[in-house]
Amino acid sequence: MKVFKFGGASVKDTAGVKNVLKVLQKHNNPDKLIVISAMGKTTNALEVIIQKYLAEQSPEAEIEHLRLFHVEIMNGLFEHKKAAVFEKINQFFTILRNFLEHNKSKQYDFVYDQIIGFGELISTTIVSEFLSRNGIRNTWIDVRDVIKTDSTYRDAKVDWETTQKKIIAAINPGTISITQGFIGSDSNNFTTSLGREGSDYTAGIFAYCLNAESVTIWKDVPGVLNADPREFKTTTLLQQISYEEAIELAFYGASVIHPKTLQPLQRKEIPLFVKSFFHPENEGTKVCRGNGCAVIPQLPCFIVKKNQALISLSSRDFSFMVEENISEVFQLFHQYQMKVDLIQNSAISFSVCVDNKFNQLEKLIQHLKAKFRVEYQTGVSLYTIRHFNESAINSVEKGKKVLLKQLTHNTVQMVTAG
């Protein structure tokens, strides 16, 4: 059993879906589990629908625009406009509208998860039908029936024991199964999500539960690069990296591999390949385990996270920032769902760079001000360089105002303004 994962960029339009067919025809072993993300920017569009709905504004125009976006893709894939797939997609939009009409909860995270998964449900239905009509028999599986989680909406934790039993029961070896990334369901069968970009994690979950031979993530880049090509002019393909190095890169914010994806794969030593869906014949990047899995080639790796917040705390009476104070601060970070990306402390001050992805920074700051002197700055960027050298550091610092800098043996991190 091999696990393939296709991201939103790989199915963003008609040509993308047709390319998925070509990739699968080149890898014609039928023993596959295929995970597919929402098409293109569908998740972003659904987030706008959520925002308008919770602001008590009608999202009907956005819903219809999203429906027509998918209809246009289907028009390029299916000759007969009365094919069953058109009705199936219309039914998903009917279910979405019914939820918005009858839902009583205004709790953001719950509403988010009930709506956001429609992108994956729709994309997998379209791809499954298209593959079936072009000679690739497959079974469509609703991932919410097999990946069971707790009820931490927008960042659900997997119930591994239940999930493994359900996955093994649902997947038939020697066949192709197609399912959704990013989502699952809780014990009440409400939809949950595994965190943004969680489709890679879904592939890892299936691979672990099925003892897969390998996982391949098909991307719009050649593989794992030493820097994001959207942020850096010159990048180099990493032909091979270890699980440990990949986890480090993911922890610091590298966007090619989701941070949680690697953990289940490492436990069973399942190799991960990151390849280009434009050039499926190329080797891409292999992520593996062992002494022979050092970074190849060995060179600095750059990661940038924008729109972060830098918070500096000090005690009001200039007493030491000791364990008791720091423990209290971290409890608040947990309470307000802040991901801490950098920590630096001295005798009387404590600075952190955090990711405010749940938009609770202002509440946190007000809580901190009750006990500490607080200074903070939003909109900062956090640069991380793995395996740095002086030239790499200078290239990042040039023309920037460095607010905070921290070096360890293999890694340097810098917070810059703007």
- Binding-site members are 5-8, 43, 120, 230
Task: Check: CB of residue 50 under 8 Å from CB of residue 115.
Answer: yes
Q: Annotated binding site for ATP: which residue ranges?
A: 5-8, 230
Task: Check: CB of residue 384 under 8 Å from CB of residue 355.
Answer: no
Q: What are the φ/ψ torsions at residue 403 (nearest 5 degrees)?
A: -90, -30
The runs of H, that is alpha helices, within 141-292 are 160-170, 199-210, 243-251, 262-267
The runs of H, that is alpha helices, within 27-171 are 42-54, 60-75, 84-102, 108-116, 118-133, 160-170
With CA atoms as reference, report the closest residue to 112 among 18, 182, 209, 31. Answer: 182
Q: Annotated binding site for substrate: which residue ranges?
A: 43, 120
Neighbour tally for 61: CB within 10 Å: 10
Helix (H) or strand (E) holding 23: helix 14-26
Q: Which residues pair with 216 in a beta bridge?
A: 4, 273
First to last CA, the chain: 46
CA-to-CA distance for 164 and 319, rounded, in angstroms?
Answer: 51
Q: Which residues pair with 176 in a beta bridge?
A: 32
